[in-house]
Amino acid sequence: MRPFPCLAVSAGLALTVLSAVPATADYSALSARGTTPGPPNYSLAEDNRAGSQIAAVEGVHGVPDHGRYAAEGQTLGHDVSGHQGAVDWPAAAGAGAKFVYVKATEGTGFTNPQFGQQYNGAHGAGLVRGAYHFARPDVSGGAEQANYFVDNGGGWAGDGRTLPGALDVEYNPYSDDKCYGRDAAGMVAWIKDFSDTYARRTGRAPAIYTSTSWWRKCTGDSPAFGGANPLWLARYAPEIGPLPAGWAHQSIWQFADAGTLPGDQNYFNGTEDRVTAMAGA
């Protein structure tokens, strides 16, 4: 098993938790929200989920040998969004899920209408849970979207049951320009703005969800985030393959877009106690 990644906040960032979110916070009121009409375009937001564009662009190339990864101490989990609707959490836990990421927001105009049921329900079923944000670098700045994310369920609490929030950066579903109209330097700056703002708000650097191909295409394979941000890598294949620059190993591997658990299927790179460690300090 590979060593657990460095989870330190980027140098110079304040560690004071300014807006931590209690593990038992009730987000049911968010269920009545949803898309904001008019520009910018959020018409696809209900179906945009971690990996939806990666599967569409990069394809599916098989599944891993589950016996091998279980023997190596990998921990099974999943991720869900409004696309899954209400989730049967006791059933998911009974099927072996130990952790889950739940889509909270997209851009600065969409909140997952199922977020309360999914986020609180996962906690109630005993899963370690976290929230993720679908990035829209084409509609507003990284800091603005980080604040929107934290303010709508994406915070963190050091309770050992709440994973740090995750930034989902993948191919643009709204345009043929898959990098959201930004060059590599502009995309790196946008991600840094999001990450730094999230860390200032919560005391934790967010995980970064991406694929190696997208990262190379849209950031120029920047190594800038490997020291602070846990990597949640998407690749639908028997092996995880090469990693983006800067990361020596992944924290989470999203290996399939369907399987025994609701939503996308993931392995945490370590035993269940390492999942708890990532959710801790």
Which residue is catalytic, options 58, 170, 196, 264? 170
Summary mean pLDDT of the chain: 87
Average pLDDT over every residue of 123-134: 98
Which residue is catalytic, options 58, 79, 257, 264? 79
* Cis ω for the linkage preceding 206 (within 30 of 0): no
Q: Is the pLDDT of residue 47 over 60?
A: yes
Give which of 144, 137, 140 is closest to 185, Cα–Cα: 137
Cα gap 76→259, rounded to integer Å: 11
Provide φ and ψ at 68, rounded to 5°: -65, -50
pLDDT band for 2, please (50, 70, 90 cuts): very low
Is 170 among the residues known to form the active site? yes
Contact 131, 104 (CB under 8 A): yes
pLDDT band for 70, please (50, 70, 90 cuts): confident
Three-state DSSP class for 34? coil
pTM of the model: 0.86
Q: Which of 55-64, 105-114, 214-223 has the lowest mean pLDDT?
A: 55-64
